Amino acid sequence: MANVLVPIADGSEEIEAVTIIDVLVRAGAEVTVASVMEHSQIIASRGVKLDGSCLIGSCGRDWDLIALPGGLPGADHLAQSGPLMELVRQQLAQQRLLAAICAAPAVVLGRHGLLADRVATCYPGFQEELASQARAVSVERVVEDENLITSQGPGTAMEFSLALVTRLFGSEKAAAVADGLLSR
């Protein structure tokens, strides 16, 4: 079973967070939703309340995947979380999967200097900023660069999540999940 961490914060984009969580659970991953706030329940970008199963400082372990939803100010809160950024740096150093969507590639990863040698994509409004942080910016909906997977935003959340399933479980499992969701 794959162990996945999805950190959330006040202002996280709910479509991205919930799509990542739901699709990975359907595939058979054990998903831990962790709040980077001082409280486990967050209020997402459009007012939806989401509950974390733990606070980020109390759920540390080795993760097969860490998947960062975007949204503002959610991505800012993720970027300001010392415990999360420590986990993200460990994830990259150990060549385990790291994924980020929407504002998160630029705001969480780029602003911490973690994309200098990477090709990535992000929400179009952040692509200019990303250009100064990454080796190259792609306009593709989902971009895979070794163990890093990035995507553009809420409208690409399903495609992004299925790419994560493919990396964790293989293309047959991703196809089966996609078929069940009527997304192919």
- pTM value? 0.97
Please say whether the beta carbons of 54 and 83 come within 8 A: no
Q: How far apart, in whole angstroms, are the C-alpha atoms of residue 6 and residue 136?
A: 26
Q: What is the pLDDT of residue 100?
A: 98
End-to-end CA distance of the chain: 25
| Secondary structure of residue 42 in the 3-state scheme | strand
Q: What is the pLDDT of residue 148?
A: 98
Question: What's the CA gap between 133 and 175, in Å, rounded?
Answer: 34
Query: Could you give the CA distance from residue 89 to residue 96 in angstroms, rounded to a whole number?
Result: 10
Strands 49-51 and 41-43, how do they pair? antiparallel
Average pLDDT score over residue span 131-137? 97
pLDDT in tens, 53-92: 999 999 877 999 999 999 999 999 999 999 999 999 999 9
Q: What is the domain partition of the chain in residue ranges?
A: 3-174
Predicted pLDDT at 29: 98
pLDDT tens by residue, 101-120: 999 999 999 999 999 999 99
Average pLDDT in the chain: 97
As annotated, the active-site residues are: 102
- Name the CATH topology of 3-174: Rossmann fold (3.40.50)
Mean pLDDT score, 13-36 = 98
Please say if the pLDDT value at position 184 is more than 90: no
